[in-house]
């Protein structure tokens, strides 16, 4: 952060990008500025460590707040303040002088370890309290599962919870949004106690989680670099007859032939739909499974299209049994958004 003038900023005041840019051009950097640990800077550490830590936190937060460009251009002062505070909090070193972990990276690593090993909330609370006592003074480790979940919740991109029939007949949405039982099989919308047969109203029998795709596509095009990558396919078709990317396939050419208007604009996105059952608790003896539905963006170059950060999770279909031929019921919200994109398109 540039100083406003000698001695009146000291890197302690936050401003928008336009103001910071003005300060840098007119006043320049503080000539006495060297190392300030609040930026995560430590002497004699490799550049790679600093870049990885800040990049992970920055990418997560910019995704949660609709991207860095959104932050720079929005007129909503509250969003600016939320972004700045979240970024500063996430990139705070775990303790003064710590070069390896930030608050964000430490919390994510510990919580992942809890989930993978099936720790109870009470045991994890105890570990966090012990770590807080072991770490150097002024550490920022959180002290409870509740505070960890609250912290992570700030970066939630959001999803829609849609109640589903226990027998996979329908989703309780649109015209049947307020029904209390399935119009096809008559089963209750709510969980039924197996022993007493009492309906637990308010507790849905099944919940589909849908991660809306349109805002995420908009976010992809907000990045100039990503927008350019999404047009890679248009200029890199193989000229020697060898297949190096899906753009070189017969199917790609067939799509171009059948829908020439779609093919004319290189910004139009081509997607692959993938589904597979998974065991979310890493214990194959359990009867519970779920089915994630993912979209793969084929516009991207081959070294990017299959990277995990570019594969878009869209649906989580609940178990314990596989949806089978009824999977089309669960695909409804995704298909409707895809039809909207195909028929009308959206501005980005």
pLDDT in tens, 200-213: 888 999 999 999 99
Q: What is the rounded (10 degree) CA torsion for 257, 260, 265, 267? A: -50
Is the per-residue pLDDT at 15 higher than 60? Answer: yes
In percent, how much of the chain has pLDDT > 90? Answer: 34
Q: Band the pLDDT of 49: cuts 50, 70, 90.
A: very low
Closest CA to 166 of 182, 152, 180, 145: 182
Phi, psi of 89 (to 5 degrees): -65, -45
**Statement: residue 155 has pLDDT above 80:** no
> Which residue would you say has higher pLDDT here, 144 or 348?
144
- Using an 8 Å Cβ cutoff, are 155 and 61 in contact? yes
| DSSP letter (8 states) at residue 182 | -
C-alpha–C-alpha distance, residues 146 and 312, integer Å = 28
Which residues share a beta bridge with 271?
A: 297
Quick one: pLDDT at residue 2?
Answer: 39
The single residue listed with the structure tokens 């090993």 is 117
How confident is the model over 261-312, as pLDDT tens digits? 999 999 999 999 998 776 655 555 556 678 899 999 999 999 998 888 889 9
Q: What is the arithmetic mean of pLDDT over 16-39?
A: 63
Please give the pLDDT value at position 297.
93
Joined tokens for residue 229: 């990558």
Please name the residue that has the structure tokens 């900023």: 9
Phi-psi sector, 324: left (phi>0), alpha (psi -120 to 50), beta: left
Contact 105, 57 (CB under 8 A): yes
pLDDT tens per residue, range 53-86: 444 555 555 555 544 444 444 444 555 455 556 6
Q: Which residues pair with 206 in a beta bridge?
A: 164
What pLDDT is stored for residue 8 in this prediction?
52
Summary mean pLDDT of the chain: 79
Cα–Cα distance between 177 and 163 in angstroms, integer? 9
Beta strands in the chain (DSSP E): 160-164, 190-192, 199-204, 206-210, 271-275, 291-297, 311-317
Predicted local distance difference test score (pLDDT) of residue 89? 72
Query: What would the pLDDT profile of 188-204 be if each residue is shown by its tens digit?
Result: 999 988 888 888 888 99
- How does pLDDT run across 98-124, given as a tens digit for each residue? 888 888 888 888 988 898 888 899 999
Question: Between 116 and 333, where is the model more confident?
Answer: 333
pLDDT value of position 12: 58
Q: Return the pLDDT at 30.
A: 64
């Amino acid at each position: 952060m540039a100083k406003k003038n000698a001695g009146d900023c000291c890197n302690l005041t936050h401003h928008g990008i336009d103001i910071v840019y003005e300060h840098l051009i007119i006043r320049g950097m503080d000539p006495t500025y060297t190392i300030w640990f609040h930026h995560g800077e430590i002497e004699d550490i490799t550049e790679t460590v600093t870049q990885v830590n800040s990049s992970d936190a920055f990418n997560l937060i910019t995704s949660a707040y609709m991207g860095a460009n959104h932050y720079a251009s929005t007129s909503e002062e509250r969003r600016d303040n939320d972004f700045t505070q979240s970024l500063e909090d996430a990139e705070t070193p775990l303790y003064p002088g710590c070069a390896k972990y930030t608050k964000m990276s430490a919390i994510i690593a510990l919580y992942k370890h809890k989930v993978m090993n099936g720790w109870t909330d009470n045991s994890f609370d105890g570990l966090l309290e012990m770590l807080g006592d072991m770490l150097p003074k002024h550490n920022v480790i959180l002290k409870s599962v509740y505070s960890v979940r609250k912290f992570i919740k700030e970066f939630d991109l959001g999803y829609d919870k849609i109640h589903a029939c226990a027998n996979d007949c329908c989703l309780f949405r649109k015209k049947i949004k307020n029904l209390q039982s399935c119009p096809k099989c008559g089963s209750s919308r709510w969980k039924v106690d197996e022993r007493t047969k009492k309906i637990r109203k308010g507790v849905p029998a099944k919940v589909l989680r849908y991660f809306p795709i349109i805002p995420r596509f908009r976010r992809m095009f907000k990045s100039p670099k990503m927008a350019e990558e999404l047009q890679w396919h248009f200029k890199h078709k193989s000229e020697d007859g060898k297949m190096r990317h899906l753009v070189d396939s017969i199917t790609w050419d067939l799509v171009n032939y059948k829908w020439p208007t779609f093919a004319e604009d290189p910004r139009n996105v081509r997607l692959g739909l993938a589904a597979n059952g998974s065991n979310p608790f890493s214990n194959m003896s359990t009867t519970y499974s779920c089915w994630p539905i993912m979209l793969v963006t084929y516009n991207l170059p081959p070294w990017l299209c299959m990277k995990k950060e570019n594969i878009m999770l869209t649906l989580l279909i609940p178990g314990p049994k596989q949806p089978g031929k009824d999977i089309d019921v669960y695909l409804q919200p995704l298909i409707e958004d895809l039809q909207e994109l195909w028929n009308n398109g959206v501005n980005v």
